[in-house]
Amino acid sequence: MSAIDMQQKPQKRPDMDDLNPCAACGIRDTAICSVLAPEELTKLEAITRHVDFSQGQTVIDEGEPADFLFNLTQGTMKLYKLLPDGRRQITGFLFEGDFLGIALNEQYAYSAEAIGDVGLCRIPRQNLESMLDEFPHLEKRLLGVVSNELAQAQDQMLLLGRKTAREKVVSFLLSLSRRAADREAEPSPVYLPMSRADIADYLGLTTETVSRTFTNLKRDGNIRLKTGGYVELPDIVALEEIADGA
């Protein structure tokens, strides 16, 4: 194995704790920083500041100047867009290591709010852009991140436009399960830090329909609702068939 292995799983590096916060960062190996060499990391560190937000706080606001980009280091967030009368569409949930705030124009195209308390790495947009010119592999990585988000967005369009309530809820549980597995964790049980209202606004449903669908899935033995927002998925394969209407 090479000294720098891009595929390795995240791990703590307690040896450098305070001297080099980035190197000690828990998500250092999954976040965009993972493509940076030590001296480049130092450079990134110089322009980065760590910020915390508590439950329910708005981190970015649709339409505001997009002066910062963020890396979520701890907690969960939701991204959403609003219609004038208050209808809301959640376009995504973010977990540790996810990137936030890429804006094509000068303004953010969506809002972002903390679910529970969160910690973020904040990078001024201007500075990052000059770093991009200097380190093309960072730009390549960014292109990968955005392409990945686009692919997810297309899956979500299929879900919103063509799936039933039951298929939507099951697809949602499976996507959380897969993302947990991508990070580190077990694919089941899945942890749901967000409210029923958030899930509804993500799936294009109402809270009542989400709740009823959970109840039905439980009755049919497809899921088990635990306390503290945990859901067990006893048969992933069976759920995958439900998810695309097979």
Applying CB under 8 A, the residues found at the interface with a second copy are 81, 83-85, 87-89, 91, 102-104, 109-110, 132-133, 136, 139-140, 142-144, 146-151, 153-158, 160-163, 201-204, 244-246
Tell me whether residue 141 or residue 166 sits nearer to DNA (CB atom).
166
Considering the complex, what minimum distance in angstroms separates the CB of residue 114 from a second copy? 19
Q: Does 214 bind DNA (CB under 7 A)?
A: yes
Question: Shortest distance, CB of residue 163 to DNA, whole angstroms?
Answer: 8
Match 């606004």 to its residue by tokens: 201
Phi and psi at 176, nearest 5°, equal -65, -40
Rounded to whole angstroms, the Cα distance separating 57 from 60 reads 9
Tokens of 133: 């010119």
Q: How far is the CB of 171 from a second copy (least distance, A)?
A: 11
Rounded to the nearest whole angstrom, what is the least distance from the CB of residue 47 to a second copy in the complex?
19
DSSP 80: E
Residue range at the interface with DNA (CB under 7 A); choices 15-23, 88-96, 107-115, 220-228: 220-228
Q: Which residue's CB is nearer to a second copy, number 25 or number 243?
A: 243
DSSP 171-234: HHHHHHHHHHHHHTS-SSSEE--S-HHHHHHHHTS-HHHHHHHHHHHHHTTS-EEPGGGEEE-S
Residue 15, burial from CB neighbour count under 10 angstroms (0-12, 13-18, 19+): exposed
From a second copy, DNA, none, interface partner of 20 (C-beta below 5 to 8 A by class): none
Q: Is 89 in the site for DNA (CB under 7 A)?
A: no
Structure tokens at 111: 């809002």
Which positions from 179 to 198 touch DNA by CB under 7 A, shown as an x/- string? ----------------xxx-
Q: Does 166 interact with DNA (rule: CB under 7 A)?
A: yes
Nearest CB to a second copy, comparing residues 16 and 236:
236
Among 122, 179, 212, 224, binds DNA (CB under 7 A): 212
CB of 127 or CB of 211, closer to DNA: 211
Q: How near is the Cβ of 115 to a second copy at its closest, in Å?
A: 19
Q: Do 160 and 153 meet the contact criterion of CB atoms below 8 Å apart?
A: no
Long-range CB contacts (< 8 A, 24+ apart) of 6-13? 6/34, 6/35, 9/184, 10/97, 10/183, 10/184
- Asked if 191 and 229 touch (Cβ cutoff 8 Å), the reply is yes
